[in-house]
C-alpha cells in the first residue's frame, strides 16, 4: 500500500495544453495529490514511467500517435498502475474507446474539464480529484484468473429467482462484459443492473455493453416491464427498483449511503416486491453498497453471490456482501453458478 503521509503522485497524459493546465490546477488544488509529470503524448509518458513512478495516471483517450487505449494496454502489461480515463465526449466512438480502456485495465472514467467558466467546472473538478485519490490507493496487478473446480449447487430451500439484480462499481464494466458473455443470449429471466458511473456516461455505457455481450442492453424506463434475456441499466443519478407488479421504477429519492443509483435499494426491492424470488450478484467495487440489500434478500429466501477477492479489482462491495451471507465465487464461476440455478429451477 502506498505511503499516504505524502501526496499521491499523478501523471497527466493529455495532448491539449489548455486541458493539461486545467488538470494541473485541479490536481494541485488538493493537498492529497501532486502532479509528478505532464505529457502531451503516450510515447513520452510510457518512456517516463520508470523515472516519474506515478501512483495514478490521468489518461486522455484521443492522443496523437499511440492513443490512450493502446497506452493503457501497454502500461498494464509492463508496469501496472491505476489509470483514470479523462473523456471529453460521450459519443459512441469515444465512449466505446473509454469502455475498452476499462477492459484493458483502467479503473474509472470521468469527464474532462471544459474551463473555469463552465457551469459544471466545480463538480467535474471535484470528481476528478476524488477519483484520482481513491484510485491511487488501489493495488493494481497483472491478473491471471486461475481455473477452479466447478462447484455443485447444494440443495436449498431458497426461492427460484425470477430476476437477476446485479451491482458493480470500480472495475465493473470489464467484469460485467465477462459475466454476460458467459450467459446465454436467451437468458430466461430479466437482469436489472446498477453500475456506479457518472450520470453523463450511462447512456454510452449501456450502448457499449450492448455491443459486446450477447444479451440486449438498454437504459431502464419507469413503468416498463423487464424482459427475459435483457439487461436493464439504471439511468444516471436515479434509483432503479422493481414494483409488486413486476414493473421497473425509476425515481430520484435521496442517495443511499452516498449512492444514486443504489444497489442496496435495487436488491432490497427484490426482497420486498418479489418476496425474495431474485438472485443478487455483487461484483467488484469500492464501499459497501448492496450489502444491506443482500441481507434483506437472503432473509426473504432469495439468493446472492459476491465476486471473490481473487478476481475483484476492488474487494469492497463484494466483501461486504459476503459478510451478509452471499456465496463468494471467482468471476469466471459466477455465470456457471447462475446457469445451474436457473436449470434446476426449471
C-alpha cell, 317: 462491495
Which of 262, 289, 312, 337 is the catalytic position? 289
Active site residue 289: yes
Active site residue 169: yes
CB within 8 Å of 110: residues ≥ 6 apart:
84, 85, 86, 87, 124, 127, 128, 131, 198
Alpha carbon distance 273, 267 (integer Å): 10
C-alpha cell, 167: 451491482
Which of 169, 207, 312, 328 is the catalytic position? 169
Alpha carbon distance 4, 238 (integer Å): 34
Backbone angles phi, psi at 202, to 5 degrees: -65, -40
Sign of the CA dihedral with 111 first, then 112, 118, and 124 last: positive
Q: How far is CA 68 from the centre of its chain?
A: 19
Which of 30, 196, 232, 269 is the catalytic position? 196
Q: What are the catalytic residues?
A: 169, 196, 289
Amino acid at each position: 500500500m502506498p505511503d499516504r503521509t505524502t501526496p499521491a503522485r499523478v501523471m497527466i497524459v493529455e495532448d491539449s495544453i489548455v486541458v493539461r493546465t486545467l488538470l494541473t490546477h485541479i490536481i494541485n488544488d488538493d493537498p492529497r495529490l501532486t502532479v509528478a509529470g505532464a505529457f502531451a503524448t503516450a510515447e513520452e509518458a510510457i518512456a517516463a514511467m520508470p523515472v516519474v513512478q506515478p501512483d495514478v495516471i490521468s489518461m486522455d483517450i484521443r492522443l496523437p500517435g499511440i492513443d490512450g487505449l493502446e497506452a493503457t494496454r501497454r502500461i498494464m502489461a509492463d508496469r501496472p498502475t491505476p489509470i483514470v480515463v479523462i473523456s471529453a465526449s460521450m459519443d459512441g466512438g469515444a465512449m466505446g474507446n473509454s469502455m475498452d480502456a476499462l477492459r484493458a485495465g483502467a479503473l474509472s472514467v470521468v469527464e474532462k474539464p471544459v474551463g473555469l467558466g463552465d457551469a459544471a467546472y466545480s463538480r467535474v473538478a471535484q470528481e476528478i480529484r476524488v477519483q484520482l485519490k481513491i484510485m491511487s490507493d488501489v493495488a493494481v496487478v497483472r491478473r491471471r484468473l486461475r481455473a477452479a473446480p466447478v462447484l455443485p449447487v447444494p440443495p436449498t430451500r431458497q426461492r427460484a429467482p425470477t430476476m437477476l439484480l446485479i451491482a458493480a462499481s470500480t472495475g465493473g464494466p470489464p467484469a460485467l462484459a465477462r459475466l454476460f458473455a458467459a450467459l446465454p443470449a436467451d437468458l430466461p429471466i430479466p437482469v436489472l443492473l446498477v453500475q456506479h458511473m457518472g450520470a453523463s456516461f450511462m447512456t454510452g455505457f449501456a450502448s457499449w455493453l450492448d455491443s459486446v455481450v450477447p444479451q440486449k442492453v438498454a437504459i431502464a424506463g419507469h413503468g416498463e416491464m423487464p424482459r427475459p434475456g435483457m439487461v436493464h441499466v439504471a439511468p444516471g443519478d436515479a434509483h432503479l427498483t422493481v414494483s409488486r407488479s413486476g414493473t421497473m421504477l425509476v425515481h430520484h429519492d435521496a442517495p443511499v449511503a452516498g449512492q444514486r443509483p443504489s444497489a442496496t435499494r435495487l436488491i432490497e426491492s427484490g426482497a420486498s416486491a418479489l418476496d425474495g424470488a431474485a438472485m443478487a450478484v455483487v461484483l467488484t467495487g469500492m464501499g459497501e453498497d448492496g450489502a444491506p440489500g443482500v441481507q434483506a434478500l437472503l432473509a426473504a429466501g432469495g439468493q446472492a453471490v459476491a465476486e471473490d477477492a481473487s478476481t475483484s479489482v476492488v474487494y469492497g462491495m463484494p466483501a461486504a456482501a459476503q459478510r451478509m451471507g452471499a456465496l463468494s465465487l471467482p468471476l469466471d464461476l459466477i455465470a456457471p453458478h447462475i446457469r445451474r440455478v436457473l436449470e434446476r429451477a426449471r
